[in-house]
Amino acid sequence: MEKRGLAFYLLAAFFALFVVFLYGPTITIALLSFQGPRGNLTFPMRGLSLHWFENLFDEQMVGDFAGSFGRSITLALIVMLLTVAISLLAGLAFRRKFRGATVLFYLTVASLIIPSILISLGIGLLFAVMGLQPTWWGSALGAHLTWTLPFGVLIMFAVFNRFDRSLEEAARDLGASPFQTFRHVVLPLITPSLIGVGLFGFSLSYDEFARSSMTAGSDNTLPLEIYGMTTNVTTPVLYALGTMTTMFSLAVIFVCVTLVVVLRRK
Amino acid sequence: MSPSQNSDARRISLRAFAPHLLALPLWAVLGVFLAVPILMIVMVSFLDYDDAGLIYTFVLDNYRDQLGSAVLWRTYFHTIQFAVLVWALTLSIGFTVAYFLAFHVRTQLWQMVLFQLCAIPFLTSNIIRMISWIPTLGRNGLLNQALAASGVIDKPLEWLLFSDFAIVLAFVHLYTLFMVVPIFNTMMRIDRSLIEAARDAGAGFWDVLRNVIIPLSLPGIAIGTIFVVTLVMGDFVTVRMMGGGQSASVGLMMSNSIGLLQYPTAAAQAMVLLITVLLMVAAILRVVDIRKEL
């Protein structure tokens, strides 16, 4: 193997700095969320405690944390299931030519590049004109899907573009019905990708702010609640909340990655 | 017709119809929650309003008031400045990171691990990632403490947080990933023998970069550019949170109109923003052909 030159070490150092830049701020608030009761938003640490994590459940301090957390998780789960199902079906559809395929494809791409605030405003207006109350499980659900579906559909697009069709032909030659072929040949092969789509659907919905801002109605989702807090909460309880939600997101990612690794081993 | 032929015929027509059925849920969601809402914005942008609500007449005032206001033009200029600056920064950082991952990390396992390391923050909360700059950039933050301790400054810098600087920093922090992923993808598809051939022909490091790697990475660069530019142009959260009310952007202007319940104004602003963004995307697609990437 070629000896590593100066370029490698310079680039590796640059990459390391980039990773510090990506993760450094998150680590600082993780540390500061363990501040003692008299600590404030910046270093130094004044003692070490779980004080601010206990405060999370004090409604007077942070508002409706438990309620908004529950709503966000429920919404994220619904978005995840719908994103996986709809992307898979659309991915299968795009394997063959059909009328309107091009229009649908461009609509999907448009969904990705049209600024979130427009989607939020448009859905808000639509509900207002029709006399409907916006809700987190209705209008916000739709708004989130316009963000998660393009990712899901484009991932399925890439998956099926690289899919070896001879495997299906073999199954068919052996007498499998189209459904059997799908269930026993196609599905097991694409399951890791579907988990990836699910992870995207869940995480993007769970963290979405802009598309919820005009569509969530009277009950806040967690990002809306956190945003509201930034204007009036000036204690490390804000960091405790940040640390909690980030740990939750990392746990979800960890579960999905583990699932994929286990499936690939089999 | 025998029964078996009949069922065959039915199966064939079902087969021909199957893609339409499979695509139906996607059509439904994008129709109801994307196409109709955008048409709604178009409609409302031509309506009049008063304190009681919308008035269903056809007026061009919302556009006329807007396009005639100096504030709008200044805000657009400011937002485009953000977009260009953030684009240049995310592109240089993203390209360098992708280049390192694609050409200098030798095993596939390490490539995957380091790539995931860059991608994970994308799946965490943007709002929390913005908040997380407070301990570093704040008045008594790490940066000011360090600069004061080393004697570079004698009173804390006030412009680190709640400023255009903080806004650009947060954008770069949030969106560099959108450059890394597509550029890394195109770089992984570059045939390594092309680079060897160039080297054998006497090309140096910069020649290979300029004549082989950059041209072949252009589709990835274009996709990353589309993401970054559209995200920055439409942003209102980052500018509000990191600017602390000191800065303006097109998205924030819209969000303020919405807050004041001036929906027709907001809708007209939305249309101008949409057309601007689509023109920018069209311009990028004219320069680079990304169809091979899809």
Out of B41, B99, B121, the one facing A125 most closely (by C-beta) is B41
What six digits make up the tokens of B212?
Answer: 């082989």
Number of other residues whose CB lies within 10 A of the CB of residue A49: 16
CB A224 within 8 A of CB A209: yes
Residue B2 has a pLDDT of 47
User: Residues A112-141: what's their mean pLDDT?
Assistant: 92
* B104 DSSP 8-state letter: I
The candidate with the shortest Cα–Cα distance to B217, out of B115, B96, B108, is B96
The candidate with the shortest Cα–Cα distance to A206, out of A157, A264, A147, is A147
pLDDT exceeds 70 at position B56: yes
Place of tokens 């309506």: B47
The model's confidence at residue B12, banded by pLDDT at 50, 70 and 90, is low
Predicted confidence (pLDDT) per residue in B73-88, tens digit: 999 999 999 999 999 9
What six digits make up the tokens of B213?
Answer: 């790697």
Say yes or no for a CB contact (<8 Å) between A28 and B136. yes
Q: Which residues of B touch A226 (CB under 8 A)?
A: 125, 127-128, 131
The candidate with the shortest Cα–Cα distance to A189, out of A127, A133, A90, A266, is A266
Number of other residues whose CB lies within 10 A of the CB of residue A67: 15
Annotated domain spans of chain B: 69-293
The candidate with the shortest Cα–Cα distance to A110, out of A86, A134, A146, is A146
Q: Which residues pair with A35 in a beta bridge?
A: A48
Out of B34, B230, B266, the one facing A115 most closely (by C-beta) is B230
pLDDT exceeds 90 at position B272: yes
Higher-pLDDT residue of B106, A73: A73
User: Residues B57-66: what's their mean pLDDT?
Assistant: 85
What six digits make up the tokens of B217?
Answer: 């990475």
Out of B22, B104, B266, the one facing A93 most closely (by C-beta) is B22
Residue to mutate among A114, A153, A229, with most B CBs inside 10 A, is A114
Which residues, 6+ apart, have CB-to-CB distance to B9 below 8 Å? B1
Query: Across chain B, what does the average pLDDT equal?
Result: 89
Asked if the bond preceding A150 is cis, omega within 30° of 0, the reply is: no
Q: List the single range of A108-122, A251-265, B94-108, B151-165 with lowest mean pLDDT.
A: B151-165
Crossing angle for the helix pair A187-206 and A139-161, to the nearest 10 degrees: 150
Number of other residues whose CB lies within 10 A of the CB of residue A95: 15
The CATH number of B69-293 is: 1.10.3720.10
* Distance, CA of B269 to CA of B74 (rounded, Å): 14
Q: Cβ of B134 under 8 Å from any chain A Cβ?
A: yes
Q: Which residues of A touch B176 (CB under 8 A)?
A: 18
User: Residues B3-9: what's their mean pLDDT?
Assistant: 53
CB A215 within 8 A of CB A124: yes
pLDDT exceeds 70 at position A59: no
Say yes or no for a CB contact (<8 Å) between A122 and B38. yes
Predicted confidence (pLDDT) per residue in B189-241, tens digit: 999 999 889 989 988 888 899 999 999 999 999 999 999 999 999 999 999 99
Can you list the domains of chain A with their CATH numbers? 63-232 (1.10.3720.10)
CB B56 within 8 A of CB B47: yes
Place of tokens 């559909």: A153
